[in-house]
């Protein structure tokens, strides 16, 4: 199934009816961070939803949006899992058409 979605203003991601329409459950903490940054910097933040293989879709998004750079995280898979499942961030670093920075997950101890 091919779905095409326009750019969606971030404030709409807080609307349960809209998220149900897209079949999404956005992370409230992530939305709060994005909304706070948008308000502080006085910028409009929009999102675009892609369905499919994340490796291919992220590379596609780089060209379609278009992006001048990308910062992404990784899941911190071990070597064996990464070899079996593949690394999305590694794929994007090697195949994306813009500079990509990968931020490794840190474990904070309480």
Extents of the domains making up the chain: 1-49, 53-110
Tell me what pLDDT residue 46 has: 79
Residue among 51, 45, 42, 44 at smallest CA distance from 22: 51
How large is the angle between the packed helices 54-64 and 88-95, nearest 10 degrees? 40
Say what the pLDDT of residue 13 is: 78
Range among 19-28, 46-55, 58-67, 99-108 rated most confident: 58-67
- pLDDT at residue 33 is higher than 70: yes
Is residue 96 scored above 50 in pLDDT?
Answer: yes
Residues 58, 93: Cα–Cα separation, whole Å: 10
Is residue 12 a contact partner of residue 18, using CB atoms and an 8 Å limit? Answer: yes
Q: What angle do CA 48, 77, 32 make, to 5 degrees?
A: 40
Is the domain 53-110 a CATH 1.20.1260.10 member? no
Whole-angstrom distance, CA of residue 22 vs CA of residue 33: 21
* pLDDT tier, 110 (very low <50, low <70, confident <90, very high otherwise): very low
């Amino acid at each position: 199934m091919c779905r095409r979605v326009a750019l969606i203003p971030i404030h709409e991601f807080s609307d349960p009816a809209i998220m149900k329409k897209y079949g999404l459950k956005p992370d409230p903490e992530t939305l709060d961070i994005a909304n706070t940054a948008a308000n502080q910097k006085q910028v409009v933040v929009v999102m675009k939803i892609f369905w499919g293989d994340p490796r291919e879709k992220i590379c596609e998004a780089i060209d379609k949006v278009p992006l001048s750079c990308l910062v992404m995280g990784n899941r911190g898979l071990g070597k064996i899992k990464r070899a079996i499942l593949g690394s999305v961030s590694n794929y994007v670093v090697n195949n994306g058409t813009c500079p990509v920075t990968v931020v490794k997950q840190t474990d904070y101890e309480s």
